[in-house]
Structure 1
Amino acid sequence: MSDSAIRPEDLVLLLGARPRRGVRAWLYRGIAKAVRDGRLPPGLRLPSSRAVAAALGVARGPVSEALELLAAEGYVITRDRSGSRVAPRAESVRAERPEVALRPPPSPGTPDPALFPWASWLRSMRIGSARLRPDDLGYGDPRGLPALRERVAELLRLTRGAVVAPDQVVIISGVAQGLTLLATVLRRRGAGPIGLEDPGSPGARDSLRSLGADVVPVPADGDGLDIDRRVGEPGAVLVTPAHQYPLGVPLSPDRRRRLLDWAAAVDRLVIEDDYDADLRYDGLPIGVLQAMAPDRVALLGSVSKVLAPGMRLGWLVPPPHLYDELVAAKRNADLGTSVFDQAALAEFIGSGEYQRQVRRLRQVYGERRAALVGGLRERFDVSPAGFSAGLHVLVRLPDHDAEQRALAYLAERNVAAHALSDCFFADGDPGLVLGTARIPAPDLIPALPD
């Protein structure tokens, strides 16, 4: 160990001006920081507490206490006769690793944050929090607050035609968690692979694969998912019947019946992702598939499109035979969703603010979509695929080179877009899936080839 030492006056100079109060804390923080950043190297002998106290013009007690705390935390080593030295420091070894993007790229389905109803939401937070009881602040019912489950059940019955009671609802931290819980329970039951729409959501496909789930394609076209063209025999199928992603079409009545007939005949589960059905601009939203077969369909939904994805609040309405297992899986996953957020959402829905927000968004997003579609028709004499709903449109392109050029142009301008080809399990058709919530038509039109 080095025999070098630092004089009391040099240590005081290194630490800077002494405060009038809090000498012990100041001395502790200053020496600890100097050790961490290398200004006091390992093995350096420190002056005695008596010498430091004399140099600072303070009592010896606070200095001794600071050195004892530094020794307890491993910054210095104190021996009876040799005094204190800076402790040896383990070399920091930082493994080389690739850069990881912590924030995902812009998604075509992301709402405009400028439309978030801050005033009414903050009011709902105040009122909802005031209604919480002391017992609500502990580890509560993993199904969620009773008040929110009542509000969600009522909302789903009135606006989506669902067959649901409050004791059938599980409050979840977004649809992604709902998929995780369902995949976990299905895997434990040995249900087999999960069928996904092809084309479909790349996010859902990647999420399920990351959980170790076996996923298989089920072709989708202008009438939605076609269960008769499935690959193999999946144990469950994930479907977006109200507004297929990315094709933008509803599941046709005939396809709806055939999907439910298949599920009943072979005792399989249909997972309904009702992700943006509230946002239809040319008529009433299409009702949920769950209403036709509540014993075969697990209904998923969230506030991500109407409010904000960062809120991480949603709901799961499973068939009765899976309910207890899913509640147990939710408890094991996170012990329940934040009661303050749940209380706020219960008040927000109960006061009518949720439906007011839906009406506002239908008007604003409907106008923005119409402007974008009009610009595409004027420039290219084409209409995007799908019907007037949701937060995305699909524009088909002549080839994959055009797709890549358009994506590069839009990425430079931070415009949310997906390649249609990425939505397929294998090689797929070229095109762009464009977000309509924030995209201005003048930024989009030049990106598309003539």
Structure 2
Amino acid sequence: MSARTDPAIWSGLFRISADSGQTLQAQIRQAIVAAILDRQIAASMPLPSCRILAEKLGVARGTVVLAFQQLVDQGFLIAKERRGHFVNPEVLASPSRIKDAGTREKEDTIDWKARRRIAASDMPEPTKQENWIKSAYPFVYGQFDPALFPTAEWRECNRMALAVLEIRNWAADMVDRDDPLLIEQIQARLLPRRGIFANPDEIIVTLGAQHALYMLATLLMSKGSQVAMEDPGYPDARSIFKLAGARVSPVRVDDEGIDPSAIPAGSDFVFVTPNHHCPTMVALSQERRDQLIADAEKHDRIIIEDGYDSQLVDDAPQQALRGQDRSGRVVYVGSLSKTLAPGLRLGYIVASAGLISELRALRRFMLRHPPANNQRAVALFLSLGHHEALVRRLSTAFAERRKRLTDAVNTFLPEWSLADTPGGTSVWLEGPRGTNSAMLAEMAAARGVLIEPGARFFDQPERNPHFLRLGISSIALQHIEQGIRELAFAAGHRSAAA
């Protein structure tokens, strides 16, 4: 950035008045501090010189010099020789606002909570583990392992997407369409793995599975809609349906998955994760799959199927409900997060052409279409066989990690019940009665072990504090056993403290 800054951009930051009860120097300091604390001045942006600012404000240059010097002494500004004055980066990095006797905070005079029409901020918050990559034992779900990420292959595909001819393919506004190559690759390479065969007009690309669920809820649900879903189940899906005005009915899950006979009468929708249940990872039995589809036809229900953790190679892969459906009642939601990268935010919906057409119309008003350059890069990644190679590599690595984790839990946490299910990227644990996994998570984090309390997966979290989920996608194989040792130590101390 140039060392010379147009003084006109500072006009809105300074309100200097000779009639104020404060000195001119204090008013200048107050305006600069307020702008710094409100993050209106970037660390890379030099302030105007003392001479220019003095001319603009109509004050003596010495007044500005003294104001700047005091702000340097207080740590708000730093002076760089022959470059000018800059905001101290430490102030911008501080999590809390630094107060100055002469500063006033802006008052928010609008009660936004009272004006809102949906209670998004009242929904349960996601688990936040921003520094998981620095943790010694990150048993976190939904993250990637940098050691397994196909860096060279991904770079190759991005370079290919930036070729002149490729840019012409994706740079234009596609309005409500998707990259045809990506649709083709989803159709030919991803869906058949789960027994789904679809036409191009039955597929739409989304910004991940959550975006897909939000669009479906927005389009199909309203106040009074009733959604039956697994309990425990995917917490963000539960929140999305509630935000749409639907009433969510929890349905128990056992070692065969959701029990169709327990779905309440009058349910308009059923949300399921049949191949790997969220969060227990159990698979829905074939008998219950048949019953679920038969009941949907009988009671005029729509089944929303989330292909949760289903892209990895299973020893005995099951056909998706969408592949078994013959009436068009099953809507399939897929994602590339668990195999390629969660930060990529690409997923898809497979459904009847009529529904996909409506979803395209809705998506156009939300974001038109997901970034076309990302779509083309992923399409190339799929077409070159990189994704299939990655899936095989991840499946092998995760199978080894799951075995190591299961053995370690059985050895060091024998009082915990473990859902030993094949496939998937996490393991579900039930602790002894009296266990508080939220408290355990805090104590484990102090020992470098990151775990996820399981209460949030239940419709009534307060009744289920003794469950937890351990992810295996981001922890190296050689760290698993020691991580469980540390977790067992934390659990022992937690019990002693209780």
TM-score range with shorter-chain normalisation? 0.7 to 0.9
Instruction: Tell whether the 8 Å contact from 2:160 to 2:166 is kept in structure 1 after alignment.
Output: no
Q: Does 1:438 align with 2:438?
A: no
Match for 1:292 among 324, 339, 347?
Answer: 324
Q: Secondary structure at the match of 1:203?
A: helix
Tell whether the 8 Å contact from 1:108 to 1:416 is kept in structure 2 after alignment: no
2:38 aligns with: none
**How many aligned residue pairs are there?**
392
Which segments of 5 or more consecutive residues in structure 1 lack a partner in the other structure? 1-21, 45-62, 79-85
Matched residue, 1:272: 305
> How far did residue 41 of structure 1 move?
6.3
1:327-366 matches, cutoff 5 A: 327-366=360-399
Residue 136 of structure 1 deviates from its aligned partner by 3.4
Decide which moves more: 154-163 or 343-352.
154-163
Whole-angstrom CA distance in 1 between matches of 2:15 and 2:127: 31
Higher mean C-alpha displacement, 433-442 vs 203-212: 203-212
1:152 touches 1:166 (CA, 8 Å); kept in 2?
A: no
Distance 1:442 1:353, change over 3 A: same
Kindly indicate whether the alpha-carbon contact (under 8 Å) linking 1:149 and 1:167 is maintained by their aligned counterparts in 2.
no
Match of residue 81 from structure 1: none
> How big is the shift at 1:368?
1.2
Among residues 150, 161, 166, which one is paired with 1:132 in the alignment?
166
State the partner residue of 1:250. Answer: 283
SS of residue matched to 1:401: coil
Q: CA deviation at 1:442?
A: 1.3
Structure 2: segments with no counterpart, 5+ residues: 17-22, 30-47, 59-63, 65-102, 112-120, 133-139, 493-498
1:226 maps to which of 255, 259, 264: 259
Evaluate the alpha carbon distance shift between residue 306 and residue 146 of structure 1 in structure 2; reply closer, same or farther with a 3 A threshold: same
User: Is the Cα contact below 8 Å between 1:243 and 1:250 reproduced in 2?
Assistant: yes
What is aligned with 1:193? 226
Deviation at 1:139, TM superposition (A): 2.2
Deviation at 1:403, TM superposition (A): 2.9
Asked if 1 retains the 8 angstrom alpha-carbon contact of 2:281 and 2:427, the reply is yes
Give distance in 2, aligned partners of 1:302 and 1:251. Answer: 19
- Which residue is equivalent to 2:136? none
Residues 284-340 of structure 1: CA deviation (Å, up to 9, x unaligned): 422211001151111111111001111000111122342221111111111100010
**Secondary structure, aligned partner of 1:349:** helix
Cα distance in 2 for residues equivalent to 1:91 and 1:28:
24
Indicate how the Cα distance of structure 1 residues 354 and 304 shifts in structure 2: closer, same or farther if over 3 A, else same: same
Cα distance change, pair 265–179 in 1 and its aligned pair in 2 (3 A): same
How has the CA–CA distance of structure 1 residues 43 and 143 changed in structure 2, closer, same or farther, with 3 Å as cutoff?
closer
Structure 1 pair 32/185, CA: closer, same or farther in 2 (3 Å)?
closer
2:33 aligned with 1:28, yes or no?
no
Q: CA RMSD in A?
A: 3.8
Aligned to 2:84: none
Q: 1:304 aligns with which of 337, 347, 351?
A: 337
Distance of 1:197 and 1:145 partners within structure 2: 34
Match of 2:162, SS?
Answer: helix
What is aligned with 1:93? 106
Q: Which residue of 1 aligns with 2:346?
A: 313
Letter in 2 for 1:28: P
Q: 2: distance between equivalents of 1:255 and 1:215? A: 21
Secondary structure of the structure 1 residue equivalent to 2:317: coil
Partner of 2:202: 168
> Helix, strand or coil: the match of 2:318?
coil
Amino acid at match of 1:412: A
* 2:303/2:330 contact within 8 Å kept: yes
Q: SS in structure 2 opposite 1:156?
A: helix
How far apart are residue 155 of structure 1 and its match?
Answer: 1.5
- CA distance, structure 2, for counterparts of residue 360 and residue 320 of structure 1: 34
Residue identity over aligned pairs, in percent, reads 29
TM-score by length of 1: 0.76
Partner of 2:80: none
- Measured in 1, the distance between the counterparts of 2:108 and 2:242 equals 27
* TM-score computed with the length of structure 2 as normaliser: 0.70
Which residue number in structure 2 is paired with residue 323 of structure 1?
356
Q: Which amino acid aligns with 1:332?
A: F
- Counterpart residue identity of residue 474, structure 2: R
Contact 1:148 1:342 in 2 (8 A): yes
Structure whose CA Rg is larger: 1
8 Å contact 1:279–1:285 — kept in the other structure? Answer: no
Determine the structure 2 residue equivalent to 1:393: 427
Report the secondary structure of 1:360's partner residue: helix
Pick closer, same or farther for the CA change 1:388–1:112 going to 2, 3 Å: same
CA contact (8 A) 2:179 2:372 kept: yes
Deviation (angstroms), 1:250: 0.4
Q: For the residues of structure 1 that align with 2:391 and 2:208, how far apart are their CA atoms?
A: 18
Q: Secondary structure at the match of 2:147?
A: helix
Per-residue deviation, 1:360 = 0.7
1:54 aligned residue? none
Show the counterpart of 1:411. Answer: 445
Shift of 1:402: 4.8
Question: Which position in structure 2 is the counterpart of 1:113?
Answer: 146
